């Protein structure tokens, strides 16, 4: 069925008015690539693609090993606040030849902990987009350093490498410095994404066997709300089947993610009304679009293609309608205007990574760094409206922790939609979680958020933050991830937390 016809059928089923029908005609006329480039340009990240096979890493091409890594020295200024000397801190970058692909190469950074690198856990970070490199988080959020306007690097006082050994990966293929000369290696769904990440992790642990027994956490933000459950579920399945290397998966953390679209798209209108972005009359009109959105999401299912694109186009009408009313707001942080088409300016990172000296240090030769790749973004559009929450209950039942956190001023992946899908999730602790009270998340005596949880599940609404919590609240986000990985409650003392977990185990087993 043609996409336009499918949209008309859905609109007839839902019985939407001429106003909403006009909304659908407008959004269905948009080209996916145009939509991707518009969203990417809104973050001042130039979308362009360089798929030349001539720019591959010489060490990788000549090596018999599939993973080739080098130490990197980037001249970071200031005090690292580590007992380990700067010379001894292990900062690495590498490429990995992906198994089962035609010519795919995955790029990553790996930073050893500034804390206790011999005991601290191992963290995997994935940025969303889809199609945006993890360097966005590395340079502006929770990496070991930040970048100044003059392109110099300085230590991040609140980098997550102070409490963990951390990996930043450019994925899916085509993202950041990752590449392939064969378009068949571009991924379209989470099956391909999770397989590639598992292959990479197996090679990483072979390269670094000293980390094989460490507690391992899968983390990220935004569209990584899709990646994280898929990757964690794949790891957990391999572990249970004793198929491949055993990865000591302890938990997953999703920041301002898109995980359960059907629930999260319904929350847009409620959040916009609560934050006074729209009024009651506008809310009622926009809410009439949701029934057709919900029908479309259900028709998308797990394997749809055209139906999933139709669902995206229909449901995005809700979001776009709010933006058309709210005016010139930054939908990643509604407190701020979006000046021109910039919203955030991450251009210094792109300029730095495309310097010849940086390319030499990283071993990427002449590859052009692409902050956000519209080809990857477009390829993953069929995956956008799929529900990735479905794999999480099995993780919780086996004691793998879940932390969902969200900055309160983010519209696009707002805290309300995230809180609703977490509450609606079907698992043995669902009722107890729903009945759990909200408590303050405090840092140094100051209230930094509101937290609720039960057993292995924790939800945190972060105060004074937008879409990128570690950028807006660096100190509080470090405290959050540190306490959570240690097993400390984000709100209560260790004794109360232990009683709560004991109650969960009694109910479960």
Q: In the chain, what is the straight-line distance between the N-terminal and C-terminal CA atoms, in Å?
A: 49
- Cα–Cα distance for residue pair 453/66, rounded to 1 Å: 41
- The residues, any chain, with a CB within 8 Å of residue 328's CB and separated by 6 or more, are 337, 338, 339
381-434 pLDDT, tens digit per residue, is 999 999 999 999 999 999 999 999 999 999 999 999 999 999 999 999 999 999
Strands (E), 231-325: 249-257
* pLDDT on residue 82: 82
Instruction: Note if 467 is an active site residue.
Output: yes
Residue numbers of the chain with a pLDDT score lower than 70: 1-64, 339-342, 492-509
Q: Which two tokens stand for residue 304?
A: 């749809």
Q: Which two tokens stand for residue 198?
A: 């598992």
Q: Which of 120, 196, 383, 410 is catalytic?
A: 410
- Cα–Cα distance for residue pair 329/339, rounded to 1 Å: 9
Instruction: Please list the alpha-helical segments (H only) found in 42-161.
Output: 58-62, 135-140
Q: Which two tokens stand for residue 264?
A: 């999260």
Instruction: Note if 182 is an active site residue.
Output: no
* pLDDT on residue 44: 38
155-187 pLDDT, tens digit per residue, is 999 999 999 999 999 999 999 999 998 888 889
Q: Residue 129 phi/psi, 5° resolution?
A: 130, -85
* pLDDT on residue 348: 92
Task: Find the helix packing angle between 3-14 and 306-326, rounded to 10°.
Answer: 70
Task: Tokens 């018999």: give the residue.
Answer: 64
Instruction: Note if 428 is an active site residue.
Output: no
* pLDDT on residue 65: 79
Helix (H) or strand (E) holding 380: none
CA proximity to 129, closest of 381, 366, 493, 340: 381
- Around 385, how many Cα atoms within 13 Å sit in the side-chain half-sphere? 27
- The residues, any chain, with a CB within 8 Å of residue 396's CB and separated by 6 or more, are 402, 427, 428, 429, 455, 456, 457
Q: Which two tokens stand for residue 292?
A: 């057709």
* Chain centroid, CA 266 distance in Å: 21
Q: Which of 82, 113, 222, 489 is catalytic?
A: 222
Q: What domains sit in the chain, N to C, each tagged with a CATH number? A: 3-30+261-344 (no CATH), 53-257 (3.40.50.1820), 389-508 (3.40.50.12670)
* pLDDT on residue 80: 81
Q: Which of 82, 91, 467, 477 is catalytic?
A: 467
Bridge partners (DSSP) listed for residue 125: 168, 219
Its pTM stands at 0.88
Given a contact cutoff of 8 angstroms between Cβ atoms, the answer to whether 35 and 131 are in contact is no
Bridge partners (DSSP) listed for residue 453: 458
- Cα–Cα distance for residue pair 293/262, rounded to 1 Å: 8
């Amino acid at each position: 069925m043609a996409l336009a016809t499918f949209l008309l059928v859905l609109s007839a089923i839902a019985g939407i008015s001429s106003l909403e029908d006009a909304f659908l005609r407008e959004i269905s006329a948009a080209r996916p690539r145009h939509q991707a480039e518009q969203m990417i340009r809104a973050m001042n990240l130039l979308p362009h693609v360089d798929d030349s096979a001539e720019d591959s890493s010489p060490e990788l091409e000549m090596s018999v090993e599939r993973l080739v890594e080098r130490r990197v020295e980037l001249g970071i200024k200031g005090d690292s606040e580590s007992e380990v000397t700067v010379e001894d801190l292990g900062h690495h970058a590498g490429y990995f030849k992906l198994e089962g692909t035609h010519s795919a190469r995955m790029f990553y950074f790996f930073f050893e902990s500034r804390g206790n690198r011999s005991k601290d856990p191992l963290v995997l970070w994935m940025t969303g987009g889809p199609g945006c490199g993890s360097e966005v988080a590395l340079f502006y959020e929770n990496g070991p350093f930040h970048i100044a306007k003059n392109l110099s690097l300085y230590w991040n006082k609140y980098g997550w490498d102070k409490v963990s050994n951390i990996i930043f990966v450019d994925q899916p293929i085509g993202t950041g410095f990752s590449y392939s000369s064969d378009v068949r290696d571009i991924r379209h769904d989470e099956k391909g994404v999770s397989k590639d990440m598992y292959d990479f992790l197996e090679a990483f642990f072979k390269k670094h066997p000293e980390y094989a027994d460490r507690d391992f956490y899968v983390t990220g933000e935004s569209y990584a709300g899709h990646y994280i459950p898929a990757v964690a579920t794949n790891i957990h399945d391999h572990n249970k089947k004793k198929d491949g290397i055993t990865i000591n998966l302890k938990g997953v953390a999703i920041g301002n993610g898109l995980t359960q679209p059907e629930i999260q798209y319904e929350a847009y209108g409620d959040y916009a009304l609560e934050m006074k972005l729209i009024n009651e009359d506008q809310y009622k009109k926009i809410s009439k679009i949701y029934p057709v959105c919900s029908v479309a999401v259900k028709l998308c299912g797990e394997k749809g293609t055209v139906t999933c694109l139709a669902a995206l186009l229909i449901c995005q009408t809700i979001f776009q309608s709010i933006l058309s009313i709210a005016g010139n707001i930054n939908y990643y942080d509604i407190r701020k205007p979006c000046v021109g088409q910039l919203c955030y300016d991450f251009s210094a990172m792109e300029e730095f990574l495309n310097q010849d000296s940086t390319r030499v240090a990283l071993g990427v030769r002449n590859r052009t760094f692409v902050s956000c790749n519209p080809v990857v973004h477009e390829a993953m559009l069929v995956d956008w409206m799929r529900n990735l929450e479905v794999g999480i209950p099995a993780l919780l039942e086996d004691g793998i922790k879940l932390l969902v956190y969200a900055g309160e001023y983010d519209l696009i992946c707002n805290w309300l939609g995230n809180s609703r899908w977490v509450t609606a999730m079907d698992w043995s602790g669902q009722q107890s979680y729903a009945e759990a009270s909200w408590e303050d998340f405090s840092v140094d005596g100051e209230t930094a958020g509101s937290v609720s949880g039960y057993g292995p599940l924790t939800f945190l609404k972060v105060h004074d933050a937008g879409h990128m919590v570690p950028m807006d609240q660096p100190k509080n986000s470090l405290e959050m991830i540190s306490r959570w990985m240690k097993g400390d409650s984000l709100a209560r003392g260790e004794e109360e937390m232990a009683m709560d977990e004991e109650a969960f185990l009694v109910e479960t087993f």
